[in-house]
Structure 1
Amino acid sequence: MEHIEREAMEFDVVIVGAGPAGLAAAIRLRQLAIEKDMPELSVCVVEKGSEVGAHILSGAVLEPRALNELFPDWKEQGAPLNVPVTEDKTYFLLSDEKSVEMPHFFVPKTMHNPGNYVVSLGNVVRWLGQKAEEMEVSIFPGFAAADVLYHEDGSVRGVVTGDMGIGKDGQPTHNFAPGYELLAKYTIFAEGCRGHLGKRLMSRFDLCKDSDPQHYGIGIKELWDIDPAKHKPGLVMHGAGWPLTETGSSGGWWLYHAENNQVTLGMIMDLSYKNPHAYPFEEMQRWKHHPLIKQYLEGGKRISYGARAVVKGGLNALPKLTFPGGCLIGDDAGFLNFAKIKGSHTAMKSGMLCAEAIFEAIAAGRSADEVTAYTDKFNNSWLREELFKSRNFGAAMHKFGTFVGGGFNFIDQNIFRIPFTLRDLMPDYKSLQTVQENNHKPTYPKPDGKISFDRLSSVFISNTVHEENQPAHLKLTDPNIPVEINLPKWAEPAQRYCPAGVYEIVNDGGANKDQPRFQINAANCVHCKTCDIKDPSQNITWVTPEGGGGPNYPNM
């Protein structure tokens, strides 16, 4: 394509991503601008979802610590935190029939939830978006930040949003509209887990040179309307064990009783799993048939489905947070505290700390400087203290397994602080064994359409929509690798780790019946980023599709 003339808009700060971190940063910037008599300070938030909250997916039990700081009167302002946690239960599933409830004393303190709330994080984010707009933050939903713009000296200048109306052949169609250049003194990247621009920035500025490899899980969630007689508002259930133990995988599950006779439930399977035949979506579907879980779902109706990668490397895997012209916040950097299975309060706090550092720099006329004060603020905050206390949690589970790792974490969190740091240096994509090394194929029963379901019907209720005539946003570095390398070595695991049925190995029949072909059904993609993380050949790169594409999660 020829060079495209683009309209440019200038702001003091541009924020990529309208999640908890990005919106907390935007609100804090405007709070400071009003407090310090700088009302002209301009803040823009660009969001790839069709609306604020459309792509937000989380359990979620929210710890309100950061929200208390951002809006001390959030209750009076109507924040949608309506269901306080009333009861905590933790289980270990011994088999497909048996379970044991863990005594409260033996559960790591980080898993206790007094003072927390069962929420729809999507609705919390929608509320934060309204608060941001009331404070004159410019929010542009439906516009995907497609690339980073740089000054001649290499510092970040802003972002460019994706062009609309590009056909599958890469050429403009009749409804072509060029993207916008959004320019800023500082650009904050808050894209969530495995942000595609954050990934590029980490490489360009070598932000991870002093960090352990980041680690991830795949979180698969459903929302159900259940029989009111079975509903217990505020009941929080967590667990581990079956079925993941059958494939030697680690992870856990949750079931939260929310408001309006709804439960949110799901499973997080660590992407460090080894068995190439493991199938995260099917693990979650068969888990629902366990009597402990099924008792709540029978007679109910599944109303939504979604999936998202979860960042879980913690403090040891945090990259350098700043670079010339910008910063990383929230899950784009990796602030989730996996020991609590919570990242919303940590994401918000990181955004607030970043906002304070950037505001101070702009107010002092130092907008050309790298905002290293953000790192200083983090190092002196409760956020770092919290992550430091939990730094060994994930590494212990990976190194020692569910039982020994669980015991290690009980001691570390409840009895005394282990005085050393465990390292977990194996990237998740390297952990997958070949089919020659591990040919154990789990048996996954067919879905019954009442408790368990298939992937395509699940994607349907995620309200996922993409413009069909656009280039695939899932890029293969080498199109031959899936069939020539991944298929014989790992039975092409993309067929299984994708929770949306995006990837298939197909045989077209006829003269080519013995020639399998790798097919990408990009329109199914729920933007979970698992393929970008787990592909053992690191051959798949996720980039943004047209703005507004992807899932449209209600009440998730």
Structure 2
Amino acid sequence: LWEIDPAKHRPGLVVHGAGWPLSEHGATGGSFLYHLDDRQVVVGLIADLNYANPYLSPFEEFQRFKRQSEIRKYLDGGKRLCYGARAITKGGFNSLPKQSFPGGLLLGCDAGTLNFAKIKGIHTAMKSGMLAAETVAAALQAGDQGRSDLVGYAAAFRESWLYSELHQARNFGPALHKFGTFLGGAFNWIQHNLCGGRMFFTLKDRSSDHGQLAPASRFQPIEYERPDGKLTFDRLSSVFMSNTAHEEEQPVHLQLLDSSKAIAINYREYASPEQRYCPAGVYEIVEEEAGPRLQINASNCLHCKTCDIKDPTQNIRWVAPEGGGGPNYPNM
């Protein structure tokens, strides 16, 4: 979140991008810059977590993105107000789980109702909540005492515009992953502008994100430019801008299922990618006389859940910290 020069501010302006800079390292993703009120803009980079290069750092790629001329022209001379990060549930229609279970419903962004083609999810989350309220009201009127599986929600969802919107956007992400930025972008343009999203087939991602990470021996380390403190910044000063706080002397909420894997596999085979995919500097390799050791700086955690998804050995279990700690974002 930035405050920029009033002469550069254009309330309501939306800038979307795709591909660069992630494409230079074989990764996919998109970007955005939104002009808000009060001279503020929100700028961000979305990195798909199916990338293969363990040396890639989404945070550093974001710093590179801000140097792009179309983005830089708005940010130059401005002031950084806040920083944050989170993993986006953007699998969309193809990744939706069964949304009802005995005693509850799984709704909104937790279920994955984001329309990633538009990078919009508030309206879809609200609609899923409205459908849930109608389903619960109907069950209560029918004498339901609770704890039942409200399967009526699935029917209401299927008959709503929410289903239609997500179904029409179902191929957007998989097309970019399968065909790349340019061919995938061309496919999506044809799909949405000429066919209205009504393709007779469905593209799907059939592999897990963590399973796409390749051994470090196949790549060269990426040398990123040092931050200038004006347009680009380091991770720790950025975490400070997120107003993150946790209660002291509590159990670490980032748990290793098998601590030996951190060095035996992650360090030796993948060059400890957790040092780079974490946007907050939580994971750090400390070199000691006895050998390298993984240090977890849990107090830095932004609760983005990336480590829970991208760890190549699925060795990190993210649990809720005590005391409701975490980031405290203003106006984000």
What is the alpha-carbon distance in structure 2 between the residues aligned to residue 420 and residue 469 of structure 1?
A: 53
The answer to whether the aligner puts 1:381 opposite 2:160 as a matched pair is yes
* Among candidates 167, 172, 177, match of residue 398 of structure 1: 177
What is the alpha-carbon distance in structure 2 between the residues aligned to residue 440 and residue 270 of structure 1?
A: 20
Q: If each structure's strand is expressed as a fraction of its own residues, which one has the higher value? A: 1
What is the alpha-carbon distance in structure 1 between the residues aligned to residue 276 and residue 226 of structure 2?
A: 15
What is the alpha-carbon distance in structure 2 between the residues aligned to residue 332 and residue 303 of structure 1?
A: 27
Residue equivalent to 1:124:
none
Letter in 1 for 2:246: H
Letter in 1 for 2:253: H
Residue equivalent to 1:485:
265
Residue equivalent to 1:497:
277
What is the alpha-carbon distance in structure 1 between the residues aligned to residue 33 and residue 108 of structure 2?
A: 24
The answer to whether the aligner puts 1:295 opposite 2:73 as a matched pair is yes
What is the alpha-carbon distance in structure 2 between the residues aligned to residue 440 and residue 236 of structure 1?
A: 36
Larger Rg: 1
The answer to whether the aligner puts 1:257 opposite 2:35 as a matched pair is yes
Residue equivalent to 1:78:
none
Structure 2: give runs of 5+ residues left out of the alignment. none
* Among candidates 425, 428, 445, match of residue 206 of structure 2: 425
What is the alpha-carbon distance in structure 2 between the residues aligned to residue 363 and residue 481 of structure 1?
A: 54
The answer to whether the aligner puts 1:325 opposite 2:103 as a matched pair is yes
Letter in 1 for 2:113: F
Q: CA deviation at 1:443?
A: 2.4
* Among candidates 214, 223, 228, match of residue 443 of structure 1: 223
What is the alpha-carbon distance in structure 2 between the residues aligned to residue 547 and residue 373 of structure 1?
A: 37
Q: Can you list the C-alpha shifts for 1:153-189, whole angstroms capped at 9, x where unaligned? A: xxxxxxxxxxxxxxxxxxxxxxxxxxxxxxxxxxxxx
* Among candidates 51, 64, 76, match of residue 286 of structure 1: 64
What is the alpha-carbon distance in structure 2 between the residues aligned to residue 242 and residue 443 of structure 1?
A: 17
> How high is the TM-score relative to the length of structure 2?
0.97
Letter in 1 for 2:297: N
Q: CA deviation at 1:242?
A: 2.3
Q: CA deviation at 1:362?
A: 2.1
Matches within 5 A, 1:350-361: 350-361=128-139
Q: Can you list the C-alpha shifts for 1:15-68, whole angstroms capped at 9, x where unaligned? A: xxxxxxxxxxxxxxxxxxxxxxxxxxxxxxxxxxxxxxxxxxxxxxxxxxxxxx
Q: Secondary structure at the match of 1:541?
A: strand
Q: CA deviation at 1:236?
A: 0.6
Q: CA deviation at 1:502?
A: 0.4
Q: Secondary structure at the match of 2:238?
A: helix
Distance 1:388 1:492, change over 3 A: same
CA RMSD of aligned residues (A): 1.0
What is the alpha-carbon distance in structure 2 between the residues aligned to residue 225 and residue 369 of structure 1?
A: 49
The answer to whether the aligner puts 1:540 opposite 2:316 as a matched pair is yes
Matches within 5 A, 1:356-375: 356-366=134-144, 367-375=146-154
Q: Secondary structure at the match of 1:311?
A: coil
> How high is the TM-score relative to the length of structure 1?
0.58
Is the Cα–Cα contact under 8 Å of residues 252 and 321 in structure 2 kept in the other structure? Answer: yes
Q: Secondary structure at the match of 1:489?
A: helix
What is the alpha-carbon distance in structure 1 between the residues aligned to residue 131 and residue 228 of structure 2?
A: 48
Is the Cα–Cα contact under 8 Å of residues 104 and 147 in structure 2 kept in the other structure? Answer: no
What is the alpha-carbon distance in structure 2 between the residues aligned to residue 440 and residue 420 of structure 1?
A: 38
Letter in 1 for 2:66: K
Matches within 5 A, 1:303-322: 303-322=81-100
Letter in 2 for 1:458: S
What is the alpha-carbon distance in structure 2 between the residues aligned to residue 454 and residue 368 of structure 1?
A: 49
Q: Secondary structure at the match of 1:266?
A: strand
Matches within 5 A, 1:22-171: none
Identity of counterpart residues, as a percentage? 60
What is the alpha-carbon distance in structure 1 between the residues aligned to residue 20 and residue 203 of structure 2?
A: 26
What is the alpha-carbon distance in structure 2 between the residues aligned to residue 332 and residue 239 of structure 1?
A: 25
* Among candidates 32, 41, 44, match of residue 266 of structure 1: 44
Structure 1: give runs of 5+ residues left out of the alignment. 1-222
Letter in 1 for 2:160: S
Q: Can you list the C-alpha shifts for 1:461-481, whole angstroms capped at 9, x where unaligned? A: 100000121001111111111
Aligned length: 329
Q: If each structure's helix is expressed as a fraction of its own residues, which one has the higher value? A: 2
Q: Can you list the C-alpha shifts for 1:506-528, whole angstroms capped at 9, x where unaligned? A: 113xx42xx10011000000100
